[in-house]
Amino acid sequence: MERSSAAASAATETEPAQSQKEEPQTSGEREESGGGSARAAADGRRILCAYDGSKGARAAFEFASERLACPSERSDSIVLYEAVESISPATSFMATESMITKPESLQREETRRINQSLQGLQELAMSTKVPCEPVVMMGDAREAIPEYIAKHPVDLVVVGSRGMSAIKRFFLGSVSTFLVQHCTVPVVVVPPPAK
């Protein structure tokens, strides 16, 4: 399955999204790979915060940046990660006739969506003193996040809980539940903000 991906460091210029099958590109790409233990402890923790723009995701980011990350003592950093669902012409309500008949229209729309998400993550990264690396990839978060962790050093995942009802959770599944069961690193699930 072909994936489009884009990522950029908050401190550098954004590069245009590219169509690739492999890892996202970052301007400060680390040379080592593998989940978490590949680098020296002095480098600090890399905390992946799953973000989708929801209130629960915002609460997870605030929890990670204010309570977990300690950039001054351990050089901790946050990977702000957003998985953007691909627009499949066969199954998506968002696909237009031109996207179905002209694949380049589909590619342009996916690139636009990736760049829009990346810009939002960069703005969010500017709201904290913790160093953040925005990463946007195409795909379902349930699959994309464990794949990212397998290829990049990540010590901890922080994800928001949407507080779905049991019926919705049964039919739709929960990203946080899936990650708790399938990630190779600890996962912190942050409850939704109080109403």
Q: What is the distance between the alpha carbons of residues 83 and 139, in angstroms, rounded to a whole number?
A: 6
What's the rounded mean pLDDT across residues 111-133?
93
Residue 37 included in any domain: no
85 or 189, higher pLDDT: 189
Instruction: Indicate the number of domains in the chain.
Output: 1
Give me the domain span that covers residue 91.
3-7+44-190
Pairing of the two strands 187-190 and 77-84: unpaired
Q: What's the pLDDT tens digit per position in 3-61?
A: 333 343 333 333 333 333 334 433 333 333 344 444 434 479 999 999 998 888 999 99
Q: What's the pLDDT tens digit per position in 74-117?
A: 899 999 999 988 776 554 445 455 445 567 877 888 889 899 99
CB-count exposure of residue 136 (10 Å: 0-12, 13-18, 19+): buried
Residue 27 included in any domain: no
The pLDDT value recorded for residue 54 is 87
The pLDDT value recorded for residue 128 is 94
pTM, full prediction: 0.70
The pLDDT value recorded for residue 29 is 38
Residue 32 included in any domain: no
Residue 18 included in any domain: no
What's the rounded mean pLDDT across residues 171-182?
81
CATH of residue 52's domain is 3.40.50.620
Q: Could you tell me if 95 and 87 are in contact, meaning their C-beta atoms sit under 8 angstroms apart?
A: yes
State percent of the chain over pLDDT 90.
43
Residue type, 154: V
Residue 26 included in any domain: no
The pLDDT value recorded for residue 23 is 42
Residue 94 included in any domain: yes
Q: What is the distance between the alpha carbons of residues 7 and 17, in angstroms, rounded to a whole number?
A: 8
Residue 14 included in any domain: no
Residue 78 included in any domain: yes
